[in-house]
Structure 1
């Protein structure tokens, strides 16, 4: 049987159970960052009913929760609410709640929301501005589902539970291997600097100038002699490379631009963000002529007679550098920051230029091998994701028979 979902399930229904709770009763609270399928689902947060009685989405045990906002929707992060205290909870307003009726198995419904067709169509029907697009609840209400008998739904869900578990175990294994390769990169860098022996240690401020960037102020009036140029943000400065996929422009006085232009060989170091990203260094290769940088990105300009830019960039990834920036960073609840004075005060071992170049060449050649292995793992993770979604889609649309399809979740090629 094919039917619209609104005929067999409620979308964003009321929650009378919640209304019957005492004001001081504790209920499960679900922010968006805790909404993840499988073992990553985090239901540990609780709030008093009185604190979340208005302005939040309500759900109860057995509901299927579908994120409505991009990019969480496209990431297929719908979940089934398990048994929770008081059987009710609240969460972010960026969730649609679907409560299956007696003709629908909740697990089968959840897999329907993970299917390729639903995700593709939902993404196409999103409304709103870029970065804030949402899936309308009417799309879910009117979604046409293949609805076999309840027993068959349960059989399909049991089949997918077993097959997807195999894929998820491989994903966890590959993800852990990728994490270990990242740790190996740090070990290779640390070993290289440990081999410098008794090289003198010098304050970075004696070896390089630190240039601050353009302060972005949308409310400031810009007139007179101005220029519009591309500029780099923290998001553009990644570990070991500059991400130029999305570079924005800014209009500033020409005099301001002259003091914030990047030069070939500058080492870009980030001022703020996550604690582990403070001071990360990447060499600017003048990929864009006449490019500015935001004030949250410092341009460290080495004296090339004594300091090789790539040597400094590699050094910022060593454990000693990470410890320095993390211990000296100013920390707030969600962010951390460093400063130009702390960057100048960073102590670095300083062998001669030839030895600096040799260290970089040796480290880069070893890291390239590690990156190649990590790229293969990334490819495998992509294939596993495709197989997972393809298997779910085939099962909930009747393209495969669970009775004869056992073992489709095994991935011999990906496991090799």
Structure 2
């Protein structure tokens, strides 16, 4: 449900089809809703199209089966409308900041406006046409933004190695190998530049670990501290900065200074090393243990040049030297100290010229990326407006000759009552008579085998369910 479309190939299916309960088997035309998900996606719906056999409804999902006269596309669009999303958010609960749950009973209690069946189809057709155009625009904007970001990485790497300002052909240079890291192929450098290990031009330290006991000690100093979420690719996101209580010695040791480069120690593998330069935006700020701080030695290089390199050409080095656990990747401080970094000529003014040229070119790319992001935000707002107008009755014309919605609801109630009566009759027909042991159809009642006693297990062993799943 999170993707907004049904992808049967990415779901799990039972290998042993004898375990399939037909009551939970997903069928084409089903409307599925995410019952437990993130704040953004709880209650997200999909309309099932082609589906492979033996695909079952999970306990984190709900299935809606509208009446025969209800347009299913219209119903899914309504579930995505701003009004429905607000109603779902109001009823969803959860203790986590990111995860929410909504019960079946709460979902069933949500009130929705029901137009005549013919108008439902007109609404669905109009939304399909308009939203398809919006989706096409969104696809182009996303692709354009991705191309711009790739080109921006190329420019950052060229600026960080001097190639952007170099008239002569760049030179491929080497660095003494180290058995502790894998350097791979290093990019070419401009004339006068050289390679060095990060530990040769900067002091690198890790941050502070959060000690829960200290957070209630009023004698300790409370200061702001940066987390991995604050260190984005070539920028710092300071919209949410947490605070922590630390001893005075820790504050003195870890207080950030202008020009310090922050790099992520853990997270997704492709995000290792990302981060940017601290410019004293917040007084007495420190950083957590999942961020490394590199403080450049005097005149060795400009922080911007090092930051551009770490966030562009060095990404492959971080991925190659990171360690992957089950869910997260990380890299040790000893390896980060061995990162090969380009070192410009010692002339301070020349270094400033490199930074000025790189900043001017990158500013153009940043403006274009901003235009794409504004376009995507506008498309999202227009989508919400279209859905809101559709379910306020203002997107398509109304026809007084349409069958009234009340007649539609009466027919749905009649269908439901008939289906319930049929289920009860089926249960009565299959139930065995107490005197004869036969059902109403004359068939003998199925024999019920007595439960088997569980087989004792040797001490220390555990049982497993006989289920096999495949991705």
- The residue number in structure 2 matching 1:47 is 13
Cα contact 1:208–1:301 (8 A) shared by 2:
yes
Q: Is the 8 A contact 2:13 2:55 kept in 1?
A: no
Deviations 1:181-220 (A, max 9, x none): 1011012123332342341211110111011111124367
Aligned position for 2:119: 152
Structure-2 residue corresponding to 1:410: none
Q: Does the aligned pair in 2 maintain the 1:314–1:360 contact within 8 Å?
A: no
Structure 2 residue corresponding to 1:257, chosen from 251, 254, 261: 251
Indicate conservation of the 8 Å contact 1:223/1:253, yes or no: no
Please show how residues 173-188 of structure 1 align to structure 2 within 5 Å. Answer: 173-188=140-155
Structure 2 distance, partners of 1:189, 1:133, is 40
Determine the C-alpha separation between the residues in 1 that align with 2:134 and 2:203: 51
C-alpha contact 2:122 2:396 (8 A) present in aligned 1: no
Of 324, 333, 346 in structure 1, the residue corresponding to residue 339 of structure 2 is 346
Question: Are 1:104 and 2:70 counterparts?
Answer: yes
Partner of 2:320 in structure 1?
A: 327
Unaligned ranges ≥5, structure 1: 1-33, 405-416
Aligned to 1:285: 279
How far apart, in 1, do the equivalents of 2:217 and 2:370 lie? 48
How is 1:201-350 mapped onto 2 (pairs within 5 angstroms)? Answer: 201-218=195-212, 226-319=220-313, 321-350=314-343
RMSD after superposition? 2.9
Partner residue in 1 for 2:448:
none
1:375 maps to 2:343? no
* Corresponding residue for residue 453 of structure 2: none
* Distance verdict in 2 for CA 1:291–1:58, change over 3 Å: farther
> 47, 53, 56: which is aligned to 1:89?
56
TM-score by length of 1: 0.79
Provide the residue aligned with 1:396 in structure 2.
Answer: 391
What residue in structure 1 maps to residue 352 of structure 2?
357
Query: Contact conserved, 1:159 with 1:402, CA < 8 A, in 2?
Result: no
1:359 aligned counterpart, secondary structure: helix
**Once structures 1 and 2 are overlaid, which stretch shifts more, 255-264 or 103-112?**
255-264
The change in CA–CA distance for 1:169 and 1:87 in structure 2 (over 3 A counts) is: farther
Q: Does the C-alpha gap of structure 1 residues 361 and 346 become closer, same or farther in structure 2, counting only changes over 3 Å?
A: same
CA distance in 1, matches of 2:376, 2:212: 41
Task: Please state which structure has a larger fraction of its residues in strand.
Answer: 1
1:362 and 1:402 map into 2 onto residues whose CA distance is: 57
Per-residue deviation, 1:145: 2.4
User: Residues 126-137 of structure 1 correspond to what in structure 2 (within 5 A)?
Assistant: 126-129=92-95, 130-137=97-104
Work out the CA distance in 1 between the residues paired with 2:376 and 2:218: 53
Is the Cα contact below 8 Å between 2:302 and 2:352 reproduced in 1? yes
- Matched length: 364
Structure 2 distance, partners of 1:224, 1:246, is: 23
Kindly indicate whether the alpha-carbon contact (under 8 Å) linking 1:209 and 1:300 is maintained by their aligned counterparts in 2: yes
Q: Residues of 1 paired with 2:88 and 2:138: CA distance?
A: 25
Structure 1 distance, partners of 2:336, 2:55, is: 50
Structure 1 Cα separation of the partners of residues 350 and 45 of structure 2: 53
Give the direction of change, closer, same or farther, for the CA distance of 1:297–1:402 in structure 2 (3 Å limit).
Answer: farther
- Rounded to whole Å, the distance in 1 between the matches of 2:227 and 2:138 is 32
Distance 1:100 1:220 in 2: 56
Structure 1 residue 264: Cα displacement: 1.9
Gaps of 5+ in 2: 167-189, 400-471
Give distance in 2, aligned partners of 1:294 and 1:71: 26
Measure how far apart 1:329 and its partner are.
0.9
